[in-house]
């Protein structure tokens, strides 16, 4: 369970495509990937960010595990994470990588 963050209830995450320069640098590879940001409400944001940092410090990936709109399980790699406190509680910001054809991109 340390290799993923799982959404256990609620709707599928909303992924917002991003084109920030610093974030695009995270996708450098031989394949072409897109970057997206998702915001998740949580009760333990700092602990989840720490889980990501532990994996990255060991040069290991960590994934966001969720059910899509059809109810099928999916995983996407998490490339950056940040927790924040808002009036409604804690929010976890996750920057993820996806293959360009999986979100309708050419």
What pLDDT band is residue 31 in, cutting at 50, 70 and 90? low
Q: Per the domain annotation, does 11 fall within a domain?
A: yes
Q: Per the domain annotation, does 104 fall within a domain?
A: no
**Contacts (Cβ under 8 Å, ≥6 apart) of 88:** 41
Q: Per the domain annotation, does 88 fall within a domain?
A: yes
pLDDT tens, residue by residue, 58-104: 999 999 999 999 999 999 999 999 999 999 899 999 999 886 655 44
Q: Per the domain annotation, does 105 fall within a domain?
A: no
Q: Per the domain annotation, does 106 fall within a domain?
A: no
Tell me which residue range forms the domain holding 27. Answer: 4-98
- pLDDT at residue 104 in the model: 47
Q: Per the domain annotation, does 103 fall within a domain?
A: no
Counting Cβ atoms within 10 Å, is residue 85 exposed (0-12), middle (13-18) or buried (19+)?
Answer: exposed
More confidently predicted of 21 and 71: 71
Q: Which of 101, 106, 97 is nearest to 35 (CA)?
A: 97
């Amino acid at each position: 369970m340390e290799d993923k963050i799982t959404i256990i209830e609620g709707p599928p995450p909303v992924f917002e495509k991003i084109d920030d320069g610093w974030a695009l640098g995270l996708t450098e590879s031989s394949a072409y990937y897109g970057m997206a940001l998702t915001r998740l409400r949580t009760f333990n944001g700092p602990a989840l960010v720490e889980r990501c940092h532990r994996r990255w410090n060991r040069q290991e990936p960590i994934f966001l595990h969720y059910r899509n709109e059809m109810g099928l399980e999916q995983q996407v790699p998490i490339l950056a994470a940040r927790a924040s406190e808002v009036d409604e509680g804690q929010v976890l910001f996750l920057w993820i990588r996806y293959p360009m054809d999986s979100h309708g991109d050419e």
